[in-house]
A and B are shown apart, each in its own frame.
Chain A
Amino acid sequence: MAQAEIPYQEAMPLHDPHSWVTKYWYSQDHKVIAVQYGITAMAVGLLALVLSWIMRLQIGWPGVFGIEPALYYQSFTMHGMIMVIYLLTAFLLGSFGNYLVPLMLGARDMVFPFVNMISYHVYLLSVIILLAGYFVPGGVTGAGWTLYPPQAILTGTPGADWGIASMLLSLAVFIVAFTMGGLNYVTTILQARTRGMTLMRMPLSIWGIFAATVLGLLAFPALFVSAVMMLLDNFVGTSFFMPAISSALEGGMAGGMIEGTDAYEGGSPLLFQHLFWFFGHPEVYIVALPAFGVVSDLISVHARKNIFGYRLMVWAIVAIGVLSFIVWAHHMYVAGMHPYFGFFFATTTLVIAVPTAIKVYNWTLTLWRANIRFTVPMLFAIAFVITFVVGGLTGLFLGNVIVDVPLSDTYFVVAHFHMVMGVAPILVIFGGIYHWYPKITGRMLNDTLGRLHFWFTFLGTYAIYFPMHYLGFVGVPRRYYDHGTTSAFYPESAQFLDKGISVAAFIVGAAQFLFIANLVVSYFRGKPAGDNPWEATSLEWRTPQTPPVHGNWGDKLPTVHRWAYDFSVPGAEQDFIPQDVPREGADGKPQEKGAVAS
């Protein structure tokens, strides 16, 4: 193949930092921006952790700790939104995406570093607006992270005026931030790869980030639009989502702010739900796909074996991405939409299980006849697979329309989505941090602390969420401040179970401080890592310096000669061959099989 010219790439102008501020605050270096995203997301994630403790205190020992209904409702709302948007999305795309895309592709930086820098600062602004909700009259919204109207903007819900406003505004600002970052990731992946880096040689991390970003760019608009419309309903007195209702609690802000607004009339609450879930379901995969990608790479590197069925893995990511746009109404089986939608959405939802199952098979088949090194990242990767299997399989319950009827809005749902898009992606985030921390800082994380952190987190979360499914079978409804003690659906044994779950939650939460401590201490005291401590093949481990400097590659960009999974190639000297090693340099013979497009 002729060596293509890379005019833009090679001569890309870089704005080197001149002071502390331009190096660490207004930095245009994708690696610094990635760390900024990561630290902010983790900080706001700690808040979400504390909020979950508040919830578990109340659920385990109702009334004992003096937690009022409003605080409980506000806590689960903020916990949900922070975890889904401001932690998981921001971390997997903002942090992993920013760090890995240019490095794994052999680029000097994102294509538009300035826009990338702004993206982080707008994200920070959205976090500030979100947290400002705690300081407005009425506090943050307690409408549940789904923010369903009419309830979300009526005074029977905490924070129905200013709290919901800060939430919606923050979401709109977040979407702007995401769009700026996302355009960069997609354009970089499409147009700024190095020589030899064909699409089918990209590591699966990049495929996951790429697909997720495209989903985000197409799905977030629906959330943006619904946020705008709900803000108008609340503050201008429009009735997009508001039918005529008779409530002593009607009124909200609209009545006071604009003269002459009359009652709500003729709007459609279901419209909001459709818009919300048109965003909300792809959002699940915006979180899951980067996790799929990253975990594929972790498993392959630490099992010293190529990922099994790379081509199918790529097509599965693409298929999941496409299908995720036509399954949204499976969140609305009992929402009162036309019942015949149930047939369609149940079918599409169960179809999406096929590519997802293929991914699981391929992860496990990668372990077959491997040479597994049980490093901390590998432990998290294996924990991810089994957690994801549980979460994915329970998804088949909820996706199958009639099975969803008794289980929807019960703790079964809570357990399912925590397993599949809470715990599973977070295990990958942890695994990814243990994996790439040496590259980011040049030092290893402490292994003992890492293992302790792993066992507490993995076994603890399983202990929290596995039994929780069975509360759902009993019929315990979610989002209840107090289940009462005499109910048939909440027997004494269930109260006992809830206490146990709460205790597990406190332990898991506390274990996260081991992780934080590890991050901080190892930054100063960690063992020096060297350039490639895991003996991995992808390009980020081939930078001339560790940590990589601004511009990543020195004078010349690397040239890619093979896919990212040449582990344990028969006849090769070492059990790994990096992507930029020329063919004849290692085994001397071209690969016959595999997904390597030449």
Chain B
Amino acid sequence: MAVAIFLLIIVVGSVVFTFWSPWWFSEIASNWGGIDTTVLITFWVCGAVFVAIGVFMAYCTWKYRHREGARADYQPENARLEWWLTVITTIGVVAMLAPGLIVWDDYVNPPDEALEFEVLSQQWTWKFRFPGADGVLGTVDVANLSLDNPFGMREDDPAGEDDVLVNSAEVHLPIGQPFKVLLRSRDVLHDFFVPEFRAKMDSVPGMVTYFWFTPTKIGQYQIICAELCGMSHHTMRGWVHVDTEEDFAAWFANQPTWAEMRDGVTRKVYTALAQRGRQVAESSGCLACHTLDGTKVVGPTWQGLWGGEQTLADGSKVMVDEAYVIESVREPNAKVVEGFAPGTMITYGADVVSDDDLEALIAFLREDAAP
């Protein structure tokens, strides 16, 4: 008895939960309404099967529960019934598969009018690159990647000169324009996913993957990484702003091209010591966890760090000076900044970062990270 009742409760409860719970797709902001339709078809077919089987089992467990003197039927098989069930199942499967494949065909074939842009993913942030006036993205080489060349542009490819580089995790797109998104990774697997667009694709180091979509609703949408990419996977966020044509054009005009970035239009000039410190920060792996632009990843950002105050985990405050920086490198767990976990950073002894290097690093912080 209890079994039949609980089976019924589960079936009814699941249906009620589906209709009354607040959890469902967010409002769609791209052209992929076809995906939602396919999900719904699948949902209704599967839901009907679930209810049918659940109710049938509840009935059987109630009706055919053991009674004194009762005996079960002896019925090894019923070829006709099995044949019918197979046919009906096959029809249900086709009903789900066929629309799915049609939409998939659309998903993997970008339209001719689609423009391209590139998403460069790295631990643990996003960057974007648009082809310039020539409409062609310049070729890149992973060996060229550095602080001064964040996209690894090749010097010998003129097509790259006018590429527009967005060296931050926020990108703007014009509404109504189809885009073919090219995905590239500089280190591990990532996945560009905006829930409101429904579309996603992994980026894989060593190859370029793609998908396409058309933004259809003005607003800003969070980008999340949907493929485990290490310690700070959950912090790997960004934003897509879907703008009107005019707003997009205004934003786009403000972004530097590769030629401008390379020729120092946007580049800061450092003293020789600070320049060396900058290289130390890059080659020792500091910048994997500490950003220079204020983004919070694994460790505290370095933007505005120098000369300011840091609040520690125990609530006390500390002045960021030479002594503090040295201690934080040599004994990272001595003072842990509020909001960060102790034990995250490894200890950098003098065998990894020498005292000279540390001095250079401090010079870099002084010049770059002052508020």
Contact = CB atoms under 8 A, between A and B. Distances in A.
**Direct A–B contact in the complex, CB atoms closer than 8 angstroms:** yes
Interface string B31-73: 0001100110011011001100110110011001111001111
20 contacts: A148-B189, A148-B228, A151-B188, A156-B230, A243-B207, A244-B142, A246-B143, A246-B145, A304-B66, A305-B72, A336-B202, A339-B104, A353-B93, A364-B60, A367-B57, A368-B60, A394-B46, A396-B46, A477-B226, A487-B224
Given A70-B343, A358-B86, 7 more contacts: A142-B231, A150-B205, A310-B76, A336-B207, A374-B3, A386-B54, A389-B54
Given A371-B72, A568-B72, A474 B101 contact: no
Contact of B77 (A154, A308, A379, A488): A308
Interface of A: 68-70, 73, 142-144, 146, 148, 150-151, 154-158, 243-250, 266-270, 303-306, 308-312, 334-336, 339-340, 342-343, 346-347, 350-351, 353-354, 357-358, 360-362, 364-365, 367-374, 379, 382, 385-386, 389-390, 393-394, 396-397, 400-403, 405-410, 459, 462, 466-467, 470-471, 473-475, 477, 479-484, 487-489, 491, 493-494, 497, 565, 567-570, 575, 591, 593-595
B285 interface: yes
B contact patch SS = mixed
A539 to B, nearest CB: 20
Interface of B: 2-3, 6-7, 10, 14, 17-18, 21-26, 34-35, 38-39, 42-43, 45-46, 49-50, 53-54, 56-57, 60-61, 64-67, 70-78, 81-82, 85-86, 89-90, 93, 96-97, 100-101, 103-105, 107-108, 122-123, 142-143, 145, 152, 183, 185-189, 191, 193, 195-196, 198-207, 209, 221-222, 224-234, 237, 282-288, 298, 341-344
A593 B78 CA distance: 10
Given A364-B53, A488-B26, A346 B100 contact: yes
Contacts of A370: 60, 64, 72-73
A256 B206 CA distance: 24
A473 B23 contact: yes
B76 A594 contact: yes
Contact of B288 (A248, A269, A459, A481): A248
Contacts of B287: 248
Given A245-B187, A371-B72, A568-B71, A382 B204 contact: no
A243 B206 CA distance: 5
Given A69-B344, A353-B93, A369-B72, A311 B77 contact: yes
A484 B224 CA distance: 11
A146 to B, nearest CB: 8
Q: Which of B10, B18, B93, B342 has the most CB of A within 10 A?
A: B93
Contact of B57 (A154, A364, A393): A364
Interface centre among A249, A351, A494, A591 (most CB of B within 10 A): A249
Contacts of A568: 71-74
A367 B198 contact: no
A130 to B, nearest CB: 20
B206 A268 contact: yes
Contacts of A493: 22-23
A473 B25 contact: yes
Contacts of A382: 3, 7, 57, 61
A401 B228 contact: no
In this complex, which of A146, A155, A357, A407 has the most chain B Cβ atoms within 10 angstroms of its Cβ? A357
Contacts of B189: 148, 150-151, 269
Given A308-B75, A336-B202, A245 B186 contact: yes
A410 B65 contact: no
